[in-house]
Amino acid sequence: MAEQNQVVGCHTQESWLDHFQKGKDSKKLVVVDFTASWCGPCRFIAPILTDLAKKWTDVTFLKVDVDELKEVAEEWKIDAMPTLLFLKEGKVVDKIVGARKEELLAKVEKHAVVAAA
């Protein structure tokens, strides 16, 4: 699959709903990065997410720009960037607000392992 091993940007409402539904059906861990082009800390965390996507091929990594998909950001009540939502079967199982590298690595590992088990 072309989209594996990378962070997939959702640029339209349809594409977001499509990826969200796919994640829900797959029962795999989905990590959504809510980001903004003008947010410095988002640029700090982006390469770390890229590396994680390469390593954790069983986890889906999605990216949503809060200006591009305002409704989605509002629906998930995003007011600080980056916010990382950890979803399983469409439900939030964990959340990180801010570019917190160590916490991100630990939480991806924790939830990915549970999902695989």
49 binds other proteins (CB under 8 A): no
Residue with tokens 């977001």: 16
Whether 10 is catalytic? no
Tell which positions 96-115 bind other proteins, by CB under 8 A: 97-103, 105-106
- Find the binder of other proteins among 8, 22, 24, 39 (CB under 8 A): 39
68 binds other proteins (CB under 8 A): no
Residues 88, 20: contact at Cβ < 8 Å? Answer: no
Residues 20, 73: contact at Cβ < 8 Å? Answer: no
Whether 39 is catalytic? yes
Choices 7-15, 42-50, 57-65, 87-95; region in contact with other proteins by CB under 8 A: 42-50
The type of residue at 7 is: V
User: In angstroms, rounded to a whole number, what is the distance separating the alpha carbons of residues 54 and 50?
Assistant: 7
79 binds other proteins (CB under 8 A): yes
69 binds other proteins (CB under 8 A): no
**Would you call 93 helix, strand, or coil by DSSP?**
strand
Q: Which residues carry out catalysis?
A: 39, 42
